[in-house]
Structure 1
């Protein structure tokens, strides 16, 4: 049975376009209509019990955070994905604290957003939000443990010299999804590009021999 997905938004036109894109991803039963993010949504969430909730960026940041927190409160097992224009760290931390599982930049092509939401729903993406100043310097092992199985698999293939197009074909995902996972890998490992990520993988035993990979 496909996962039920419900949209939370305050713009009917944006909600309609997103609903079409998510239905095209074919992995979800996208429920009709959308939840108006300007008002409480607890009763609707309980009635429909969606497996995934996509919260579209709203005009009011307070409303956006309130809806994320409300969904997380009444349906703690439901995956919550935020679609957002601006990816400022402080704002994303606030969304994660409220209960968001992941944030996707709205600069992604609309027809690729469904694939990214599918990765979040499948548990292939997670974010750990911690106060860096309160934590000891992370070890290589702890950094690698932050990676999901899919992210680790993509890191190994990148380090072996595979381009995004080949990785996408091998894993039956889109190139945009590969880029999405790589951006998470770079952030979690504290590296900036493919060369640094490949070097990290080799130094820490993920490959037998080093490979030269262009940034």
Structure 2
């Protein structure tokens, strides 16, 4: 039995735990489930930011691809998309390879040295992030997503008790996510032409141009090189696209691809 498994759960926490499980298993669609997971986890484990990122593994090369960040608050999505562009630089990247759910805290991996890493310095520092706790979602030895919670320095590091709580929720979160993914995959796809997308969402010329490049699987850096615009301008156009198209991430935009 591991150290995390030996930590007892208080009666009130156990009641809350059961309430969280109920909400997770009664969601109506994938977006509802993602939002519920992040919101319900926060009831037991306070955090400043959180994300749920889709994980796909190439069956032949075993190469990992992260995509479709779903974040609370929504404004955190831009940072997670930047992280996806350079995910191999993160010391916890290996978590996405694990065939079963594990919980990892960045403060355990490298201690205070984590604050000097490129990821912390160039991405997390602007949000005053001090510690992270991640758990991969896996079912039947298949990795599906990566859940990450973030805290600022004022809130301190994640505790052993909180790591235990997250691990205790893993089985239910994994099964709910797996069954919802299977249900979503069985739905017939709905596609529209580019012209219909432009008309339906009232896109500007520049928004249409950027959407076309996103549909070509270009990342932010490649789009910047192609259009010769500033990063701020690109992020502003992407936010407008998300708003007009009623989506919350780049991956959702790709689902609209003709």
Q: Name the structure where strand makes up a greater proportion of residues.
A: 2
- TM score, norm. by length of structure 2: 0.24
**Greater gyration radius:** 2
- TM score, norm. by length of structure 1: 0.27
Higher relative contact order (CA 8 A, sep 6+): 2
